[in-house]
Structure 1
Amino acid sequence: MEDCFRIIFTELQEDSASLYSCILVNRFWCRIAVPILWKNIFIYGKYSRKKLYNVIIHLLPQSSKQLLFDNNIDLPSLSTISNKPLFNYISYLSRIYPGFIDNMIQTLIKREVGFNKFQEDYKRYLLEQEIYKLFIKNCNNIKEFSWRTEKPLFQYPGASIFFSHLCSLGINLHFVTSSSLFGMAQICQNIEELNIHDCYELSEVIERKSSTLKKFTIRPIITLLSPKFLPSLINLQYLELNNDDGYEINGNNILIEKSQGNLLEINIYRSLEYIDPIFNKKLINAIIKYCPKVEKLMIDVDPKNLDGIKEIFLNCRQLRKVYFSTNNQNLVCDELLEIIVKFSSRSLYEFAFDDNWNFSVSGLQSFFENWKGRIPLIFHHYFCEQDFWTEQHDMIVKKYREEGVVANYGSLY
């Protein structure tokens, strides 16, 4: 009986109003529905954040409440509610969204006219510390976490269990210290997805966990990252290297080569002031040789290397989505359209390009005409101020959309 109710309530997990109604039926329904409701509490747009924050504050242990009270941190829930909560609600959470705790601190401790900045900052420091301790000690079902605090989270009670269960970890090195990184590396056992923002010298930390990583993302500046850990990323399936400063990214080819053909998605992007044709050719050759299973590909392309793009389509027969960016601003590249329609596999159904690609109206029409009989194409272009994409281009796309050749069409910006 209980299993049946759990299956039914799980079907309602995105319908907070219905789940809340189930909770009010009786104790039996309540006991089953509450964990499902709180598992994804952050996806519900209509909940009262202030009420949610007060519930969480009320879950603080007495020692934390006393610490806050002793430091003149006046939170309503500390004094107005005395009954013990019916559930340890946060223990059901599956994810803590980035910025949630920051927003909670900002809401509960507001700046006031004539405030003492030192005192207010210290209050926020203490409240943040106690909230993180609460989450880390009680949330054993968290699979995704974004570390955006200077607090030494790996030292908090329950950290060994909390971090050992994580599958996805985001790290912002603007906040996280080197000692915290190495401490975290000691206890993270099952990390499959690592997202690093503002990375510098992280090679040793990454290398320790490289054998379990399946998804690896680095942004925005990665030129200072030593490539010595790259050969050990043997189970990688998703690779995103986003270098906003525009420098070439050392180690791409090593990553791709050592992936043992397991990469399903490749996203390599940098600022497009210049593309080195030789570097670009090496990258394309690595994809041709080592990525037969890739399904989604996003790379920069030098127009001189279109023969390599042809080879990618001939060797990567599982490609479903492609996005090509370029720094070309003058050359008409109808040849790219011809390559896609002639040599791509029947599994390809989405194509996107940035605003530097220049296609003729007749070339675009020929592309769609030859696409007939295949899966309707999801076709994107980037909005731009260039003269390359005209109303005539839009009319061609509209015509083939009405004929069912194009399934969806629009700008990516």
Structure 2
Amino acid sequence: MSLNNLKDLIIYYDFESYGRILEFQKYLANSKFPDLQILDISDDLLCFKELSMLIENTNGNITDIFVYTSNKSAENTGMFINSISNNCPKIEFLTTYLGPKDLIHIKSLLKNCRNLKSLRFNSLNEIKNIGDGLLNILAKFSPKSLSSISISGKWEYSVDSFENLFESYKKRRLLHFDIHDEIVYITTEHAKVVKKYFDEGVIAYSNLIITGTSEY
């Protein structure tokens, strides 16, 4: 808590005691790192609420946030995204999770954080029906700087939503488009759409091109 000039904060989970976890979360929520620029959290602490409070105590200089958890029961992911939207105007790289009610926060994130270069959204639970909503928001509100998008393969996407997203990038270029996690709902038709825009030069790289369409 006394590291007022801290710029990079990287935390990895290594607690065996539940009491120690709660103690750590308490300190995290009350810490103030006004000059923080990079936040890298890889743990199962389920501390999105505390991370939100930490971000609110910064001075808006964060450029890179990476959050990973293998615990699918995490909550307050929307609160976390909202805190980033309101307090991180300079952010360029963001990896985080989406819950079933979080799409409402993505629009404000894209409108407020106009320096975003890379977005990666991971899935916590089986929320199949958010795929089209996510892609439509990305198509309509993404800043011009956003050139790398990685989204979960556990969400359902219509072919039309793929088309809509890539059409929005025709006047710029999508350097990187990936589907990660277990690829459940991606079909040959989705891969054909990606290949079409790859051939047109709209997409520079996609793992759907590299792996080919035979798997889908």
**Kept after mapping to 2: 8 A contact 1:227/1:250:** no
Q: How many residues align?
A: 202
**Kept after mapping to 2: 8 A contact 1:351/1:380:** yes
Larger RCO: 1 or 2 (CA < 8 Å, sep 6+): 2
Q: CA deviation at 1:215?
A: 1.0
1:352 corresponds in structure 2 to: 150
Deviation sequence 1:267-305 (CA, Å, 0-9, x none): 1222252343xx122212211111111111111111322
2:18 corresponds in structure 1 to: none
Please give the alpha-carbon distance, in whole angstroms, between the structure 1 residues aligned to 2:91 and 2:172: 20
User: Which residue, 42, 52, 61 being the options, matches 1:262?
Assistant: 61
In the alignment, structure 1 residue 365 sits paired with structure 2 residue 158: no
1:407 corresponds in structure 2 to: 204
**Cα distance, 1:281–1:368 mapped onto 2, change above 3 Å:** same
Q: CA deviation at 1:316?
A: 0.6
**Kept after mapping to 2: 8 A contact 1:325/1:357:** no
Structure 1 or 2, whichever has the larger Rg, is 1
1:306 corresponds in structure 2 to: 103
**Cα distance, 1:258–1:383 mapped onto 2, change above 3 Å:** closer
Matches within 5 A, 1:243-322: 243=43, 245=44, 247-249=46-48, 251-276=50-75, 279-322=76-119
1:237 corresponds in structure 2 to: 37
2:214 corresponds in structure 1 to: none
Matches within 5 A, 1:51-200: none
Please give the alpha-carbon distance, in whole angstroms, between the structure 2 residues aligned to 1:402 and 1:257: 43
Deviation sequence 1:15-59 (CA, Å, 0-9, x none): xxxxxxxxxxxxxxxxxxxxxxxxxxxxxxxxxxxxxxxxxxxxx
- State the TM-score, normalized to the length of structure 2: 0.84
- State the TM-score, normalized to the length of structure 1: 0.45
In the alignment, structure 1 residue 216 sits paired with structure 2 residue 9: yes
**Kept after mapping to 1: 8 A contact 2:49/2:79:** no
Q: CA deviation at 1:246?
A: 6.3
Q: CA deviation at 1:212?
A: 2.9
1:324 corresponds in structure 2 to: 121
**Cα distance, 1:362–1:370 mapped onto 2, change above 3 Å:** same
1:374 corresponds in structure 2 to: 172
- Residue aligned with 1:211, SS: coil
- Residue aligned with 1:371, SS: coil
**Cα distance, 1:409–1:308 mapped onto 2, change above 3 Å:** same
Q: Which structure 1 segments of 5+ residues have no match?
A: 1-206
**Kept after mapping to 1: 8 A contact 2:46/2:71:** no
Please give the alpha-carbon distance, in whole angstroms, between the structure 1 residues aligned to 2:140 and 2:71: 28
Please give the alpha-carbon distance, in whole angstroms, between the structure 2 residues aligned to 1:281 and 1:376: 26
Deviation sequence 1:80-113 (CA, Å, 0-9, x none): xxxxxxxxxxxxxxxxxxxxxxxxxxxxxxxxxx
Amino acid at match of 1:240: D
**Kept after mapping to 1: 8 A contact 2:13/2:45:** no
Bigger helix fraction: 1
- Residue aligned with 2:101, SS: helix
**Cα distance, 1:321–1:385 mapped onto 2, change above 3 Å:** closer
Amino acid at match of 1:241: I
- Residue aligned with 2:102, SS: helix
RMSD: 2.4
**Cα distance, 1:383–1:402 mapped onto 2, change above 3 Å:** farther
Q: CA deviation at 1:249?
A: 4.3
Q: CA deviation at 1:262?
A: 0.9
Please give the alpha-carbon distance, in whole angstroms, between the structure 2 residues aligned to 1:315 and 1:343: 10
Amino acid at match of 2:62: L
**Kept after mapping to 1: 8 A contact 2:88/2:113:** yes
1:94 corresponds in structure 2 to: none
Runs of 4+ in 1 over 6 A off after TM superposition: none
Please give the alpha-carbon distance, in whole angstroms, between the structure 1 residues aligned to 2:72 and 2:206: 27
- Residue aligned with 1:331, SS: helix
Matches within 5 A, 1:329-344: 329-331=127-129, 333-344=131-142
Please give the alpha-carbon distance, in whole angstroms, between the structure 2 residues aligned to 1:352 and 1:319: 13
Q: CA deviation at 1:350?
A: 0.4
- Residue aligned with 1:407, SS: coil
